[in-house]
Amino acid sequence: MKTYELRIQGFSGTGEALEMQEPVARVLCPVEAHNGPCDVPWGFTLADESHDLLLGIYATPEKAAEVAEKVRAVVGGRTVLLAEGDPSRFEELIEQYQIEHPNG
């Protein structure tokens, strides 16, 4: 398991990037008020130097690639780049996984 970052590019401003959070969140968590943990711990932030939306996930390489494909399908032709993420940027994802999977 590693932290991965999906960088969603092509927004004209911060507001437009923030509006994309909800449709992307529904890819990862189709039922917002569900019992138990999400299949993949995830969280959003904005890139410091641009209007890019960053989606952090904590997953296997295979699951990260699967999530990237699902995100590409809902972002309206915007570029989605998948790369290993900086664990310090998304520390809460690792902590969330450890709490939800104490024996994993």
More confident residue, 100 or 26: 26
Q: CATH no. for residue 55?
A: 3.30.70.600
Strands (E), the chain: 2-8, 42-46, 53-59, 80-84
Residues spanned by the domain of 53: 2-100
The two counts, helices (H) then strands (E), for the chain are 4, 4
pLDDT at position 104: 60
In this structure, what are the phi and psi dihedrals at residue 13, rounded to the nearest 5 degrees?
A: -170, 175
Instruction: Compute the average pLDDT of residues 76-103.
Output: 85
pLDDT band at 6 (very low <50, low <70, confident <90, very high): very high
The pLDDT value recorded for residue 74 is: 95
Q: How far apart are the first and last CA of the chain?
A: 10
Q: What is the mean pLDDT of residues 23-35?
A: 82
What is the model's pTM?
A: 0.88
Number of domains in the chain: 1
